[in-house]
């Protein structure tokens, strides 16, 4: 199995996009279904964001200083998504703001994923090459085993608090 970091991250993106589509296709009254889909979205995003924050972004920052601005913008976009994820995790699916909040999460994450895939992943692939990307990917495969899976777990929450008070 390839451990190419970009291949792995794109596979995560594809799973998230599929869940987004399922949420949007669920009917207005399908509260239970939508609640279950959002649970899965939160889990996927928590793991994915963690792997990017802990491995992919720091490596890119270190190896490709020219991409510093892209990376910093991406951290901020993750932070916005994290906040929405924390709030959704504490909400019931029949809350009147549940669908609206999920829709804003979907829109902002889609924008973020598009930017990663269309803009900075190609630059990273060109600059780092296959071998380095496979090493970074192998690190992510390893870290995935112990990655937090729920937005409320302290390691993730702490990051958000640090980002706010820093």
CB of 90 to Fe ion, least distance (A): 23
CB of 146 to Fe ion, least distance (A): 19
CB of 89 to Fe ion, least distance (A): 19
Angle subtended by helix axes 154-165 and 31-51, to nearest 10: 70
Which lies closer to Fe ion via its Cβ, residue 44 or residue 116? 116
Q: How far apart are CA 60 and CA 128, in angstroms?
A: 9
Which lies closer to Fe ion via its Cβ, residue 27 or residue 62? 62
Q: How far apart are CA 12 and CA 17, in angstroms?
A: 9
Which lies closer to Fe ion via its Cβ, residue 12 or residue 99? 12
Output the CA–CA distances (angstroms, integers) from residue 71 to 60, 76, 101, 103, 121, in the order listed.
8, 9, 25, 25, 11
Angle subtended by helix axes 121-144 and 31-51, to nearest 10: 100
Contact positions with Fe ion (CB under 5 A) in 55-114: none
> Does 52 engage in binding with Fe ion (CB under 5 A)?
yes
Number of residues that bind Fe ion (CB under 5 A): 2
CB of 120 to Fe ion, least distance (A): 9
Instruction: Dig out the tokens for 86 from the structure.
Output: 């924390």
Q: How far apart are CA 54 and CA 107, in angstroms?
A: 24
Which lies closer to Fe ion via its Cβ, residue 52 or residue 99? 52
Q: How far apart are CA 12 and CA 44, in angstroms?
A: 7
> Does 44 engage in binding with Fe ion (CB under 5 A)?
no
Which residue, judged by CB position, is nearest to Fe ion in the bound state?
Answer: 52
CB of 12 to Fe ion, least distance (A): 6
Site residues (vs Fe ion, CB under 5 A): 52, 116
């Amino acid at each position: 199995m390839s451990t190419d970091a970009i291949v792995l991250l794109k596979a995560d993106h594809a799973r998230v996009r599929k869940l987004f589509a399922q949420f949007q296709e669920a009917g207005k009254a399908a509260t239970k279904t939508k609640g279950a889909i959002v649970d899965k979205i939160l889990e996927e995003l928590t793991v994915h964001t963690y792997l990017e924050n802990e491995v992919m972004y720091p490596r890119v920052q270190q190896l490709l200083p020219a991409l510093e601005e892209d990376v910093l913008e991406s951290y901020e976009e993750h932070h916005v998504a994290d906040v929405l994820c924390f709030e959704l995790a504490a909400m019931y699916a029949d809350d009147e703001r549940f669908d609206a909040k999920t829709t804003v999460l979907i829109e902002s994450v889609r924008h973020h994923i598009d930017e990663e895939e269309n803009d900075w992943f190609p630059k990273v692939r060109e600059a780092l090459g296959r071998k380095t990307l496979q090493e970074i990917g192998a690190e992510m495969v390893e870290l995935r085993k112990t990655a937090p899976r729920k937005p409320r777990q302290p390691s993730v929450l702490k990051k958000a608090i640090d980002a706010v008070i820093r």
